[in-house]
Structure 1
Amino acid sequence: MIYRNHLQKMKDPLQFSDQPTEVGMECFICGTESSEVPSAGDYKQLACPECGEYKLSGTAIALFKEHNWKFNIEFTRLWLETQRKGGTIPLISSERAATLI
């Protein structure tokens, strides 16, 4: 497995953490090859070159798999962008995910 650091800050709001990441996971939102950032909670944290960095709760992941849900890509990216204005990495909870499909 390939690991790398996202030490760069991009010109747009898609800023990546400086945590080591595992490359080769698909973005839950758009399907682009992304990097998974190690996490200690009940969520997966991804750094996607198209959607930016975000967290998706374990419950949301289970619901997406169970119901074969797909994110509305444009709407979800807009929501992520508004959440990043607070300076934190957005967490998509199961409740929020249901509004973004």
Structure 2
Amino acid sequence: MNQLSEHILVERATGGKGGGGAVLTRYGQRLIQLYDLLAQIQQKAFDVLSDDDALPLNSLLAAISRFSLQTSARNQWFGTITAAIMMTFNSMLMSYWLTEKHA
């Protein structure tokens, strides 16, 4: 594994009372954490594919936001923003129209 990586993933210890062994480096541990996160993201993407009411997948931002933002049900409002005031660092929501499906 170390030969396939730019960084050392496993450190080996030879000999000794226990006969040596191998230990993951910090980089190796983080690589495994990243792999686990990517597996979770992949599963959520597959879940979106099976959801007939899901957002269209032609927008990468919409697809990612579909499974990356997780809030409680009471904090979700589905609707259309009908007006907004754009400011330098933030925006003010002026009007919000709830869709009939979720009103």
Higher fraction of helix? 2
Q: TM-score range by the shorter chain?
A: under 0.3
Q: TM-score, normalised by structure 1?
A: 0.24
Q: TM-score, normalised by structure 2?
A: 0.23
Greater RCO structure (CA 8 Å; 6+ sep): 1
Structure exhibiting the larger radius of gyration computed from Cα positions: 2
